[in-house]
Amino acid sequence: MKGFLAALVLLAAGQAWADDETQARARAGDMAAQLRLGRLIADGGVQPADPAAAIRWFKLAAEQGSAEALYELGMAHLRGWGVERDNAAARKLFTDAWTKGDAGGAYQLGLMERRGLGSKPDLAASLQWLTRAAFAGHALAQARLGIDHLEGTRTPIDAFEAYIWLKLASQAGAGAAREPMRRAAALLTPERIVAAEAEILKRKSSVFR
């Protein structure tokens, strides 16, 4: 029991040291540390969650060019977390995040277009943004496209495309893609599955902007 308690004390001390180091680096202007500190504060990992403080660190990181910080600020404006809800501001921040290489920005733009946040719903624009995010490796965008192709909700039913996107999403860690992927596979011949697997290998190395 004493050994267990000692281990907990050491773990807590190590965590505190890591947080102290992050704060010191963030204050010294380290962009990655500013982003990490913002996320720690947002999650309550350093102190009770403090949206205003988290946003200040995200802004500092964004000013240095952090695409991920731009994404976090976009999410704050989209949800009204620590700032006034503002779809137009969220859209601009997500666009800037995508321009700097964050696929999450394109994914969120796709969802905003689909839901009509800040404008009328535009399914064509939604699919364009989701496709960009999917080709950039965003697992949730890949899963969303796969389900769309499988169910024909926004596109004609296409089990071949559905299987490709759902397999890529599953390989990227989207567990919810596995069951619809199996449904898509059941609609394909063995030959088409072989062709889909070949296409998956191509898309893994693709970059779509």
DSSP string, the chain: -HHHHHHHHHHHHHHHHHHHHHHHHHHTT-HHHHHHHHHHHHHTSSSS--HHHHHHHHHHHHHTT-HHHHHHHHHHHHHTSSS---HHHHHHHHHHHHHTT-HHHHHHHHHHHHHTSSS---HHHHHHHHHHHHHTT-HHHHHHHHHHHHHTSSS---HHHHHHHHHHHHHTT-GGGHHHHHHHHHTS-HHHHHHHHHHHHHHHT----
What is the pLDDT, as a whole number, of residue 60?
Answer: 97
Instruction: Give the domain 12-101 fold.
Output: 1.25.40
- Please compute Rg for the chain using Cα positions: 21
Cβ proximity of 155 and 122 under 8 Å: no
Residue-averaged pLDDT of the chain: 88
pLDDT of 129 > 60? The answer is yes
pLDDT at 8 over 80: no
Delimiting residues of CATH 1.25.40.10 domain(s) in the chain: 12-101
Q: What is the share, in percent, of the chain residues with pLDDT greater than 70?
A: 88
pLDDT of amino acid 45: 67
pTM here is 0.84
When pLDDT is averaged across residues 69-94 and rounded to a whole number, the result is 97
pLDDT score for 195:
98
The predicted structure's pLDDT at residue 46: 63
pLDDT recorded at residue 207: 52
Place of tokens 């859209």: 91
- Among 158, 183, 160, 181, smallest CA distance to 169 is for 181
Write the DSSP symbol of residue 175. Answer: G
Condensed to tens digits (0 to 9), the pLDDT of residues 153-209 reads 777 899 999 999 999 999 999 999 999 999 999 999 999 999 999 999 998 876 554
Residues 31 and 64 sit within 8 Å (Cβ to Cβ):
yes
Spatial distance between the Cα atoms of 22 and 34, rounded to a whole number of angstroms: 8
Residue 50 confidence (pLDDT): 87
> What is the distance between the alpha carbons of residues 133 and 144, in angstroms, rounded to a whole number?
11
**Residue-wise pLDDT tens digits, 24-64:** 999 999 999 999 999 999 987 666 778 999 999 999 999 99
The per-residue pLDDT for 155 is: 72
